[in-house]
């Protein structure tokens, strides 16, 4: 359906005229970018020295999308990056529905619910947990579309270059996780055979006190052992693709090592209590176990993140408190405590979008859930303004078609 530009333009302007737009920190050092409903290009290299200038621009020009640079510049309005003079940049984590398996089969509400689960994991486990940022350092923003952003403007991250930011991404996603590091090899014994010495090696298991990825691999090993105990070889091959091509004989032999009892002690108990993989009688069994951990178990613990956004030191990110042109929802800043109960289709609907009824048209049956109510239009119908703006921004309905 063709975009209802007059409707969106009218109500976006009403929002910007009534809302106090809080500019980002050090906004005078930032570059701004804007896209409009009736033009196909982005306006770039724009800077503001006062918050009132930004507010007046939004009311006067009514952009469909508003962005600010994650970077700080000496001359933010300069026409080229070289002339701007880079001073540093916030560290940004962006996560939206593109990172969800099966997102194409989810409704908008389902995508929003699931991406929030993944984002909370990113914030709590990695940003606040492993990386040690204080809760107040992690500025959370609902993007107004299909996901969330985390802005970190702490001085210790602002000077990081792209390579260093990429290392942060690799840590969060577990990219390049080294099993030799997580399970270091050690000599268990050496035996003399005539004129040669045979060295037997095993691998240490991270202790229960281990944190970060070592702790995750300890937990992953425990989960893998439980999975091996309760699943048949064919089920294991289906659930753990790293075992593809491994015979029933080998899998059963590993299971005997792990789950049989010798002198009243099970192999798994010996494995976890001694803190090494000696319970697996053959070196190739240990190697196979690590292969499964690396390829199939470690990905279960990784954090999701849009990698190019975090590593980019000159990125544009959505302006908090602006409106998203494809939904009409507010780009909403949140505290960590607010995030748990935040519902975008309830809490990101601008108050400026009233209950005033509007006649709308659709091309066939369309429906959406907004503020806990299901709205359906089949050809022609009536919607409160807040629902009409949302559905018009998503090209589901239009007031321009009403006879």
pLDDT by residue (tens digit) across 225-247? 999 999 999 999 999 999 999 99
Tell me which residue has tokens 């400026």: 352
Cβ 139 vs Cβ 333: under 8 Å = yes
pLDDT at 104: 87
How many CA atoms does the CB half-sphere of 206 hold within 13 Å? Answer: 21
Query: How do beta strands 261-262 and 196-203 pair?
Result: unpaired
Contacts of 126-130 with CB under 8 Å at 24 or more apart are 126/171, 126/172, 126/303, 127/93, 127/152, 128/336, 130/171, 130/211, 130/212
Cβ 175 vs Cβ 305: under 8 Å = no
Distance CA 355, CA 397 (A): 17
Distance CA 367, CA 375 (A): 5
Instruction: Measure CA 369 to chain center.
Output: 24
Taking the model in full, what pTM does it have?
0.91
pLDDT at 310: 97
pLDDT at 45: 93
pLDDT at 194: 64
Flag residues of the chain having pLDDT under 70: 187-195, 197-200, 402-403
Cβ 191 vs Cβ 197: under 8 Å = yes
pLDDT at 233: 95
Instruction: Measure CA 134 to chain center.
Output: 19
pLDDT at 265: 84
List phi, psi (to 5°) of 324.
-90, 120
CB atoms within 10 A of CB 345: 19
CB atoms within 10 A of CB 4: 23
**Integer CA distances (angstroms), 302 to 172, 295, 313, 345, in order:** 6, 12, 23, 28
pLDDT at 271: 83
Distance CA 333, CA 318 (A): 11
Distance CA 394, CA 383 (A): 15
Distance CA 37, CA 79 (A): 24
pLDDT at 319: 98
CB atoms within 10 A of CB 329: 25
**Integer CA distances (angstroms), 179 to 12, 197, 201, 246, 255, in order:** 52, 27, 15, 20, 21
pLDDT at 193: 62
pLDDT at 103: 87
Give the burial class of 378: count Cβ atoms within 10 A of its Cβ; 0-12 exposed, 13-18 middle, 19 or more buried.
exposed
User: What stretch(es) of the chain map to CATH 3.90.920.10?
Assistant: 20-172+305-349
- Helix ranges, 240-349 (H): 248-259, 267-274, 283-292, 307-311, 336-341, 344-347
State pLDDT tens for residues 265-300. Answer: 888 888 888 888 888 888 899 999 999 999 999 999
Q: Output the CATH code of domain 20-172+305-349.
A: 3.90.920.10
Query: How do beta strands 147-152 and 185-193 pair?
Result: unpaired
How many CA atoms does the CB half-sphere of 2 hold within 13 Å? Answer: 6
Closest-CA residue to 390 (of 373, 368, 361):
368
How many CA atoms does the CB half-sphere of 89 hold within 13 Å? Answer: 25
- Known catalytic residues? 94, 96, 306
Distance CA 288, CA 295 (A): 11
Cβ 115 vs Cβ 140: under 8 Å = no
């Amino acid at each position: 359906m063709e975009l209802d530009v007059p409707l969106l333009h009218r109500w976006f302007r009403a929002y910007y005229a009534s809302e106090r737009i809080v500019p980002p920190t050090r906004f005078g050092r930032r570059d701004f970018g804007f896209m409009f409903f009736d033009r196909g290009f982005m306006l770039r290299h724009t800077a503001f020295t006062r918050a009132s200038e930004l507010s007046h621009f939004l009311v006067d020009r009514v952009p469909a999308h508003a962005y600010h640079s994650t970077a700080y510049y000496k001359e933010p309005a300069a026409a080229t990056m070289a002339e701007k003079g880079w001073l540093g940049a916030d560290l940004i984590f962006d996560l939206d529905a593109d990172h969800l398996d099966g997102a194409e089969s989810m409704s908008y509400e389902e995508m929003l619910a699931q991406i929030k689960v993944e984002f909370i994991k990113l914030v709590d486990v990695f940003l606040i947990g492993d990386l040690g940022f204080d809760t107040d350092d992690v500025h959370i923003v609902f993007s107004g579309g299909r996901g969330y952003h985390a802005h970190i403007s702490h001085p210790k991250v602002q000077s990081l270059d792209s390579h260093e930011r990429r290392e942060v991404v690799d840590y969060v996603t577990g990219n390049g996780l080294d099993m030799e590091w997580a399970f270091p090899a050690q000599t268990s014994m050496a035996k003399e055979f005539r004129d040669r010495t045979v060295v037997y090696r095993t691998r240490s298991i991270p202790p229960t006190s281990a944190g970060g990825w070592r702790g995750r691999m300890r937990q992953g090993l425990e989960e893998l052992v439980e999975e091996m105990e309760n699943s048949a070889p064919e089920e294991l091959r289906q659930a753990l693709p790293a075992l593809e091509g491994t015979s029933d004989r080998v899998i059963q032999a590993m299971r005997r090592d792990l789950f049989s009892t010798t002198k009243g002690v099970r192999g798994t108990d010996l494995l976890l209590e001694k803190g090494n993989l000696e319970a697996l009688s053959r070196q190739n069994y240990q190697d196979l176990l690590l292969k499964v951990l690396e390829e199939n178990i470690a990905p279960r613990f990784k954090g999701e993140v849009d990698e190019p956004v975090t590593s980019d030191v000159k990125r544009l990110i959505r302006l908090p408190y602006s409106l998203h042109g494809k939904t009409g929802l507010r780009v909403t800043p949140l505290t960590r405590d607010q995030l748990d109960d935040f519902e975008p289709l309830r809490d990101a609907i601008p108050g400026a979008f009233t209950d005033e009824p509007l006649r709308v048209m659709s091309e066939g049956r369309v429906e959406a859930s907004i503020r806990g109510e299901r709205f359906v239009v089949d050809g022609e119908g009536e919607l409160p303004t807040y629902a009409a703006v949302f559905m018009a921004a998503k090209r589901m309905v239009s007031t321009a078609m009403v006879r």
